[in-house]
Amino acid sequence: MRKVIVVGAGPAGLAAAESLLHRGKGKVDVTVLTLEPYLGGSAASFTTSDGRVVEQGQHIMAGFYRELGRLLKRAGVPKEETTVSNRGHMRVWEDRDQQTHDLHFGASSVGALFDGLRYSGLGFGEKLGFGSFMARMIARVMGGVPEAWDDVCLSALCLELGCPASLVATNLFRCSREAQFNYPGEISAYSVMHTLRELARDYSTSEVRFPAGSMSDIWWEPIGRRIEALGGRILRGWRLVKLQHDGQRLTGLVCDQIDQRSLPEGFLEPPFRIVPGSRRVWTDFDEVVLAIPAGSMQRVLKYDPVLRDMPGLAGVARLTTVAPMGLHVWHRQAVTRGPRTLVAGLLPPMAIALDNKPFNPAYRDNPAFGSVLHFVGQETGFEDWTDEELLHRAIRGIQRVDGYEGIDLEGVLTYKLVRDRAPHRRYWLSEPGSLKHKPQPVTPLVGMTMAGDWVRSKADFPCMETAVRSGLHAADIVLKAPTRQRHDALAGRAA
């Protein structure tokens, strides 16, 4: 029996654990160690005592989320019952004409790319220039995406390929160049173009589907139950402190147990209260899959100079992470017109918002709420702003959008701002120049494989689908690797 420990229960860790058990067919023993009480990692959520759902970010299921869809299906999660479609619509506020524009995406990947030609926020000349640019861009991308493109931002590459400069300045383009969480910088051109090339073949629909409730409850917990049904174990409240190794092979995991009896309602925030005498060293394993966020890995490596400077891991410390924010606003006023979907182009730092009233059954038929707005972004440049100041700015920004004019401060019933500053909840920033610092899934230490959207993969893009595919790839590596006993025998024979 091959013994595997998966550290982390986000999309990557859950995908790795489920795949190991599903494909291992009774020959793999899997234990999942996770810090938070809620499954889902950076995509986790919780429900307050009065029934309100609080997310870490506004997560979606896009048309190319093939492997996440398959994972949910294996866990018995019906997509049609747990998600609601935006029917291909997105709304964008444009500063330059002070108007709200509706963008409706086509059914195919190529069609979606060219839907900008129908975008009402562009002039006729801009549309001609955009069409010409798209033709050149697709030809270049289909011919291969050089890693050198990681050294330039998306705007610079698009301008080089002939994208009109006026278009690059629009809020429509801003949605792509900031990749939602990359404000105030820009996303790597390689990250976007490489992902378009690799995932376009899996683009089945232009629809974006929103979770119909708490993602931890309707998605991640069912996957957790499937892992347990297949014979796996999920141990919650364990924090990875240190990796034990001899310089060549991973030999142990040093973990502390979080005291969960006195946890406040919500996500874990340091400093953590540790159960006295709970420190444990796990050594009985053949392989470990580290599916923890980049910030958590940086914390572990910080106090291990040998591991920190090891080729293949030395770049981890140079990766930039950011603190995402999610502002939840329960409001008495309803949105009066326009498709219910993502609204982009709002004031930073939370430039995207969604009214969850139509999507969440707990809100849909509740007359107490006219709208349930969720603003997302990250706090760079706004770290010193108070929650109230950020609320005022978010309301001021969305009031400009058609149908949201009645969303004012007086109508706010309650609100909650989630600032994900803890290392285990920070997001990797896919900025130019970051690719060379990302670790490969196969590490220099025998017995240690890594997974996550910040680990090198076929889709180097920060999203749940990338994390799931990374977890599946890590499971494939582990299943093909020799057991520890087999490895020791081979090493002895070579010596």
Are 194 and 157 within 8 A, CB to CB?
no
Judge if 230 and 315 occupy the same domain.
yes
Judge if 359 and 389 occupy the same domain.
yes
Judge if 184 and 217 occupy the same domain.
no
Best CA proximity match to 211, nearest among 336, 78, 108 = 78
Domain end, chosen from 202, 235, 251, is at 202
Are 110 and 144 within 8 A, CB to CB?
no
Are 287 and 266 within 8 A, CB to CB?
no
Are 115 and 203 within 8 A, CB to CB?
no
Judge if 314 and 228 occupy the same domain.
yes
Q: For position 24, which CATH number holds?
A: 3.50.50.60
Judge if 224 and 314 occupy the same domain.
yes
pLDDT tens across the length of the chain (495 residues): 999 999 999 999 999 999 999 999 899 999 999 999 999 999 999 888 888 999 887 788 888 889 999 999 999 999 889 999 888 788 999 999 999 998 877 555 555 556 666 788 888 888 888 888 888 888 888 888 999 999 999 999 999 999 999 999 899 888 888 765 546 678 999 998 988 887 766 666 667 889 999 999 999 999 999 999 999 999 999 999 999 999 999 999 999 999 987 677 788 888 889 999 999 999 999 999 999 999 999 999 999 999 999 999 999 999 999 999 999 999 999 999 988 899 999 999 999 999 999 999 889 989 999 999 999 998 999 999 999 999 999 999 999 999 999 999 999 999 999 999 999 999 999 999 999 999 999 999 999 999 999 999 988 888 999 999 999 999 999 999 876 554 454 444 333
Residue 193 lies in a domain: yes
Judge if 260 and 230 occupy the same domain.
yes
pTM of this structure: 0.94
**What would the two tokens of residue 102 be?**
């509706």
Residue 99 lies in a domain: no
Residue 52 lies in a domain: no
Counted domains in the chain: 3
Domain end, chosen from 384, 419, 454, is at 419
177: enclosing H helix or E strand: helix 171-177
Domain range for residue 188? 104-202
Cα separation, 382 vs 375, whole angstroms:
15
Best CA proximity match to 405, nearest among 336, 455, 338 = 336
**What would the two tokens of residue 365 be?**
């038929």
Q: For position 386, which CATH number holds?
A: 3.90.660.10
Judge if 414 and 438 occupy the same domain.
no
CA dihedral of 202, 449, 12, 284, whole degrees rounded to 10: 140
Q: Angle, nearest 10°, between helix axes 464-480 and 66-74?
A: 70
Domain end, chosen from 175, 202, 229, is at 202
Residue 269 lies in a domain: yes
Per residue in 102-131, is it b (16+ CB within 10 Å) or e — as a string? bbbbeeebeebbbbbeebebbeeebbebbe
